[in-house]
Chains A and B, each alone.
Chain A
């Protein structure tokens, strides 16, 4: 069924943040605070081998010495790291073999999230791993994937079942010492997804992770590791929501992608954490480190639609290590009310004939601040590197801001770099044209925003594109001035 403008209007009237419910599921939460004992306890809880515990402890020790970064163009009250519970898990979770065994209340939660597992299994052909409060609660389609040799499971299980693989790749792209939040994540991550695509295998379906923060006073720290072996292909989706709360919740995730020779990884995110209320109270702090490494002829493509979070701090990056490797970044970041986003990408060109494309669309409304921050680095041995960057910002109203901080560092003469950025508002002529033809202003804006974002929306897998489009429209509700 087609989603029409009338549907949108109805939706706009009725809802603010539709994922703002809280599910009363009994959960097991650690006492607040962080020290070595907590790190060890998390590790123990997960039944982890000694090397993993040591890895976490080392990260924790590094983290203790680090300072919170302040260079981002965002203002917020620093999270109190001793006031956060670092582990929260839906309680009593026996190993489940089929969906029928899942706690009905949990299933109900997923229905309200709009991801009916059943339906999606059949219709969308999407294998879903759901992470609630950092703990993986359901993985579908495991069997089908297993036949192809694809490993797709919660990372905690992967540590048990495939320790060699995890040990080999974990922390190779984002080392524990990388930055403040990556170090914190390394020390305390409780779960996440692990995915391995064997040589030459084309993953037959979209893999998907759904993240949800449920408990209050907790932080979510999940870790995703995707390894695409030589010549393989995988498309990976990630979605996230959180209940509406007055407090600020911390989300500090790490995503590592490894694309070996000739492999391709497509990673799409629709981020819809609770953005706080209209006055800017509450909302999720989204401090995420995402990075991928490309070997020869490999390709990594990041697509993101960022509509949620009170503060976003996120730079999905590509290290183009191999010759002829390709990195892509497509992003739409929408900020409304008092949201702040500082997001962008890094393209590090090391190999010869490497290519990267950056398309970033920022839309700011209300009292929000939206920044693009990107780095394009061409190293001296990266012959014939090519980059194209385009950053467009759309401003709605007079209380918001749009900023661009592109860094371009070139050390090779054969590089070809193009960067362009524009900032504008929705043209009065465009609106007038629509009005003339009987389209009212609100709908006209939705239409124009949609057109503005099309380049990026097109890159999303079908099911996500529809959802993302809806999200865009809802996020901009009431911003017409």
Chain B
């Protein structure tokens, strides 16, 4: 494969440029070797049975854009949740934009991966956490080999971060096609609390492929809320690999809102290493055109008395294709596990496709595990009822779909994010109503 060779041969140049720390060097080289052996995923792999990257990989991506690009705040303001005060980490074509960002080192760190990797001050954290739970699979290895820039967030014990942190990745189109590989590390220490909003946005019609890896560590009693907003241009593809390790009594929730993009693949992995952990995975997917969204979730229950809750809703129009593959593994020791998974889908068009595979692998006997998966249509009777009462068909449909997705929205804790998502849903459904009836 051409792209693979290009990537592998560019590694030396990359290492020469960034290598300052021999430990990381070793991790990178090993990851590159791994990627070289595995190559890009193909449909022959069970995990990629329904998602083909072939078309996306044909582009001649530039790997390390040289130019520094700036963008006007006014142009991108709408992509921020701008009505709240927030820390911001903004990357333009993979490079940090200090002008648009707002970082901090005051009691906790919200800063850059590149400096965390380079400076001795962060060495202990990097040694303890960097690349510790990321899988050794093909695309994660590819990211690890070139891991250099991204968000670095470290919240010490008992700190409650008072305002959310926004991570934004923009693509400007200064290159014909670009491959971005952000690498984020988020460490939340005991009893700390943080909220993060993440977004990838292409500002151009040039193809972009993002292969992101995020590692999140939630220590005892920590709370982490992560919101992923995916509403990208139709030539931007995203492979988002998120790995989360939780310790006792921690609560981590991830909401994924997939409203657009060419191919969007979310690999969301939870590892529960402690007791009384709660993991929450929720998602709303509304797509049309030829868009493709693939949610692969894994919740690995390793120790007893933990819970997990999954709820994914999807609405697919035109030729959209979607995949939901939810996997729950309960180890032998993980007694009293309570794992719940729900996946509901609506197909609007005859050309849309949904492939669902809710999967349970259970090795402990005293557990409560259930999953439910449905594929169906809007209730004609309910629609008729609304039309009878003067609500136009289009709005009626939109209301029904909003209600369908609302179980996911309910658990969004930042009101501004909720409002923004509601607005996006209205936009997606082509109606101008607030839904807050």
Q: Give me the interface of A with B, judged by CB distance under 8 Å.
A: 71, 380, 393, 395-425
Contacts of B354 in A (CB 8 A): 408-410
Alpha-carbon separation in the docked complex, A212 to B349 (Å):
52
For residue B366, CB closer than 8 A to chain A, the reply is: yes
Q: Is the CB of A396 within 8 A of B365?
A: yes
B: interface residue count bin: 35 or more
Nearest-CB distance from B96 to chain A (Å)? Answer: 43
27 contacts between A and B (CB under 8 A): A71-B46, A395-B364, A395-B365, A396-B365, A397-B365, A398-B332, A401-B361, A402-B360, A404-B359, A406-B373, A408-B357, A408-B375, A409-B354, A410-B345, A411-B353, A412-B347, A413-B349, A415-B376, A416-B377, A417-B374, A418-B374, A419-B356, A419-B372, A421-B358, A422-B368, A424-B368, A425-B367
A401-B361, A404-B359, A415-B347 given; A410·B369 CB < 8 A: no
Known: A398-B332, A416-B375, A423-B369. A405 touches B353 (CB 8 A): no
Name the residue of chain B whose CB is nearest to the CB of A423. B369
What separation, in Å, do the CA atoms of A399 and B335 have in the docked complex? Answer: 12
Interchain CB contact (< 8 A) of B366 among A399, A402, A418, A425: A425
Q: Give, as a whole number of angstroms, the nearest-CB distance from B236 to chain A.
A: 26
B47 within 8 A of A: no
Q: Which of B353, B359, B374 is within 8 Å of A409, CB to CB?
A: B353
Assess whether B20 is interfacial by the CB under 8 Å rule.
no
Q: Answer yes or no: B363 CB below 8 A from chain A CBs.
A: yes
Q: Which residues between 361 and 395 of chain B lie within 8 Å of chain A, taking CB atoms?
A: 361-377
**Which of the residues B356, B364, B367, B377 comes within 8 Å of A408, measured between beta carbons?**
B356
Chain A residues with CB under 8 Å of B298's CB are none
- In the complex, besides A402-B362, A410-B355, 16 extra interface pairs with C-beta distance below 8 angstroms are A71-B46, A396-B365, A400-B365, A403-B360, A405-B359, A406-B356, A406-B357, A408-B354, A409-B356, A411-B350, A415-B376, A418-B373, A419-B371, A420-B370, A421-B358, A424-B369
- Proximity bits, B43-76, A CB within 8 Å = 1, else 0: 0001000000000000000000000000000000
Q: In chain B, what residue has the closest Cβ to A397? A: B365
Please list the 9 inter-chain residue pairs (A to B) with the smallest Cβ-Cβ separation, ordered nearest first: A395-B365, A413-B347, A417-B375, A419-B373, A408-B356, A423-B369, A404-B360, A425-B365, A422-B370
CB distance from A6 to the nearest CB of B (A): 28
Contacts of B355 in A (CB 8 A): 407-410
Q: What residue of chain A has the Cβ atom nearest to residue B365's Cβ?
A: A395
Shortest CB distance B331–A (Å)? 10
Known A-B contacts A416-B376, A416-B377; A406 and B359 likewise in contact (beta carbons under 8 Å): yes
Contact check, B358 vs A419: say whether CB atoms are below 8 A apart: yes
Chain B residues, Cβ within 8 Å of A401: 361-363
* B412 is an interface residue with CB less than 8 A from chain A: no
Contact of B347 among A410, A418, A425 (CB under 8 A): A410
Q: Tell yes or no: B280 within 8 A of A by CB.
A: no
Most buried by B among A395, A399, A402, A423: A423
Q: How many angstroms from the CA of A410 to the CA of B353 in the assembled complex? A: 6
Check if B7 is an interface residue, CB within 8 A of chain A. Answer: no
Query: Quick one: given A410-B354, A411-B353, are A421 and B360 in contact (CB under 8 Å)?
Result: yes
* B-chain residues with CB within 8 Å of residue A402 when the two chains form the complex: 360, 362
Check if B421 is an interface residue, CB within 8 A of chain A: no
Q: Which residue of B lies closest to A425 (CB)?
A: B365
Q: Are B362 and A417 in contact (CB under 8 A)?
A: no
**A425-B375 Cα distance, complex, nearest whole Å:** 29
CB-CB under 8 A for A404 and B375, given A413-B352, A424-B368 = no
Chain B hits for A410, CB < 8 A: 345, 347, 353-356, 375
The answer, yes or no, to whether B3 is at the interface (CB within 8 Å) is no
A423's partner among B332, B353, B357, B370 (CB-CB below 8 A) is: B370
Q: Shortest CB–CB separation between residue B68 and chain A, in angstroms? A: 46
How many angstroms between the C-alpha atoms of A401 and B360 in the bound complex? 10
CB neighbours (8 Å) of B371 from chain A are 404, 419-421
How far does the Cβ of A162 sit from chain B's closest Cβ, in whole Å?
42
On chain A, the residues within 8 Å of B27 by CB distance are none
Output the nearest chain B residue to A401 by Cβ-Cβ distance: B363
Task: Give chain B residues whose Cβ lies under 8 Å from the Cβ of A396.
Answer: 365
A443 to chain B, nearest CB (A): 20
A419-B372, A420-B372 given as contacts; is B332 within 8 A of A404 (CB)?
no
Which residues of A are found within 8 Å of B356, using beta-carbon distances? 406-410, 419
For the complex, give the distance between the alpha carbons of A380 and B347 in Å.
12
Asked whether, in the complex, the Cβ of B362 is within 8 Å of the Cβ of A405, the reply is no
Q: From residue B367, how far is it (CB to closest CB) to chain A in Å? A: 6
Residues in chain B near residue A425, CB distance under 8 A: 365-367
B81 within 8 A of A: no
Cβ of A32 to closest chain B Cβ, rounded Å: 35
- A418–B354 Cα distance when bound, in Å, is 13
**Nearest chain B residue, comparing its CB with the CB of A481:** B365
Complex formed: what's the CA distance from A396 to B367 in Å? 11
B376 cross-chain contacts in A, Cβ below 8 A:
415-417
Cα separation A406 to B343 with both chains bound (whole Å): 13
Chain A residue numbers with a CB within 8 Å of B347 are 410, 412-413, 415
Q: What residues of chain A lie closer than 8 Å to B368, measured between beta carbons?
A: 422-424
- Assembly CA distance A395 to B377 (angstroms): 35
- B159 interface contact, C-beta 8 A: no
Q: Is B431 an interface residue (CB 8 A)?
A: no
CB pair A399 B375 closer than 8 Å: no
**B348 contacts partner chain A, Cβ-Cβ < 8 Å:** yes
- The chain B residue sitting closest to A413, CB to CB, is B347
Q: Which residues from A are CB-within-8-Å of B375?
A: 408, 410, 415-417
Q: How far is the CB of A163 from chain B (nearest CB, A)?
A: 41
Residues 338-352 of B at the A interface (beta carbon under 8 Å): 345, 347-352
Report whether A417 and B364 are in contact in the complex, using a CB–CB cutoff of 8 Å. Answer: no
